[in-house]
Chain A
């Protein structure tokens, strides 16, 4: 029992003293911004969009927004709103190229074309 209390106390202290470090341990690089950017770029490339400036992302409190420019001047916009799963909307000028889960794009790109999901 004494050992158990000790372990619990130790764990509680670990959790409290190192919480900022523990949160920083989360899988490196695996964040919403990266997912949105990669999925958005996948959509742009698969649609043959000629890119002048690839989307540059900023993460707000809840949303991720990435903006770029196509050759010819059309603005490129990737947006991901708060919530799970992360829903990606890709627009080039007035055209919406994709509106759906970002992870679906990444998974499709990682599988042979025509493979079942």
Chain B
């Protein structure tokens, strides 16, 4: 099948250069190069492993060998063709981010002290690396940008998807930081006081937290967490200069973007606390004040006394901090509207959400990241309570109709959601509220199996690398869950759909470590702080960090399945035009970044 003719090539160069305001010679030179598999840094070249004990039980990290792609044939059900590597061509090359959990650690709108009540149950309320999440997000954007050329086919990155839990505690500031980092806008991860870190980890009496100035006296100190006296000041001292994503990026809701701590409804008192100047330091203060909306519902008189106590600083278990209106708890719909406050390129403005979403309130979407591929961004989050999710009936019926349409249009389909098939059984409803059916994992998997053009379902939520096969007879699809940016291993991935030209399709998954060095350097630059975050996360024992790496079958893989339809109907010329567009878009991104 012929590729682009000379005339079509020149037309593509001219059109892209004009559309993206680039020098045609630069575009032409880039597009004339034959695609070659990239050796950019991924876990194909190097992994990050636990190193030796530094102190107590605290271990450093060390570089380990790379891991090749492991072929998996669970869905294909037979040996793959031995010559497929010679013939393959890329249909879509995609970045996949999830569970970034960007945190404003100084905000009063957090409930960290709950770990004292039960560290295991409330582990997600506090991590020792909480002040460094913007740094990790920036380092992950840098890793995706570095992996912009496929290590399998040499194809350029077409798009990036974010499968939820971007803002940790429903804060408008966290939401803004996450969008800015992915857009390549510098972010200083500070709020409240402009020059003093006002958070639990800076206060000597908060011995239950990891205090980098002096960890002694609590369980983090007992474990052997290091003394890092300049960490907090460095965290807020200079901006994270994320390069941003070089591709259009798309987002879906996660449970943390829907409920408080991904689990609880948000009440008016918590909204007030978040923008106030009193930060709880004890779990009794959190339970008695900040969480009253779903804890004690005292009498109106008691509530008045409590409010006065809090307002005048007489309530125990609180410290005064600098209030910051930017910490406002966002409304659910604002998650969508915030995605319209973005740089126009690489776009798309709305990042999957459209004006129709804003008008209707529907929180799910479809988009074509490439001419022959359709993505479906679902909202599987429960609106009432609980971290896990389900698919509401109106969305389920929409998906069924859209999949049928996509099948008729010969689109290869990618499904995106926050929750995975092991966490889609939350059918909590508000008494007297919405009564529509909530569909669980079994029903969703059945629906996807009804449509063989669905080849992969990308999701997150459980903060681990995991790949599951879903089969029915001789067809099926792959479910790919990525780890998070908050817990170790702080890994995300790139995913590529490849036509093997033998009646099979391969989904390549390649795990990315973020771009920070394995060990932090002495300068405390933002990438060094991201390295510190990863090391702290690797020692956060309560999160069972090593298990979250998954097995080799869950990391770098080639996931084979039957081609969903005759892929030869997609011409080489069409794919070359797609790749030319993606390449030129990244040239434009680089040109913008250098200005």
Residues of A within 8 A of B (CB): 3, 6-11, 13-14, 17-18, 20-30, 33-35, 37-42, 45, 51-54, 56, 71, 103, 106-107, 109-112, 115-116
Contacts and interface: CB of A to CB of B under 8 A. Distances in A.
A110 B295 contact: no
A41 B123 contact: no
B386 interface: yes
Contact of B462 (A17, A34, A41, A56): A34
Given A25-B121, A40-B551, A110-B546, 12 more contacts: A7-B287, A21-B386, A25-B122, A25-B261, A27-B463, A27-B544, A28-B124, A30-B547, A71-B79, A106-B547, A112-B62, A115-B50
A72 to B, nearest CB: 11
B387 A14 contact: no
A18 B553 CA distance: 37
The interface residues of chain A, by DSSP majority, are classed as: helix
B49 A14 contact: no
A28 B554 contact: no
A33 B12 CA distance: 51
A26 B296 contact: no
Contacts of B511: none
A110 B124 contact: no
A22 B118 contact: yes
Among B52, B287, B292, the one with the most A-chain Cβ atoms within 10 Å of its Cβ is B287
A107 to B, nearest CB: 6
24 contacts: A6-B302, A7-B285, A8-B284, A13-B295, A14-B295, A18-B264, A25-B121, A26-B121, A27-B543, A29-B462, A29-B464, A34-B464, A34-B466, A34-B547, A38-B464, A41-B551, A42-B551, A42-B552, A45-B553, A52-B74, A52-B77, A56-B468, A106-B549, A116-B52
Interface of B: 49-52, 62, 64, 70, 72-74, 77, 79, 117-118, 120-124, 261, 263-264, 283-285, 287-288, 291-292, 294-298, 302, 306, 309, 315-316, 385-388, 422, 461-464, 466, 468-469, 487, 542-544, 546-554
B124 A35 contact: no
Interchain residue pairs A-B with the least CB separation, the first 5: A29-B462, A41-B551, A10-B296, A14-B295, A7-B284
A34 B464 CA distance: 9
A23 B62 CA distance: 35
Among B296, B487, B549, the one with the most A-chain Cβ atoms within 10 Å of its Cβ is B296
B124 A27 contact: yes
Contact of B74 (A23, A53, A106): A53
Contact of B50 (A11, A29, A40, A110): A110
Contacts of A38: 464, 547, 549-551, 554
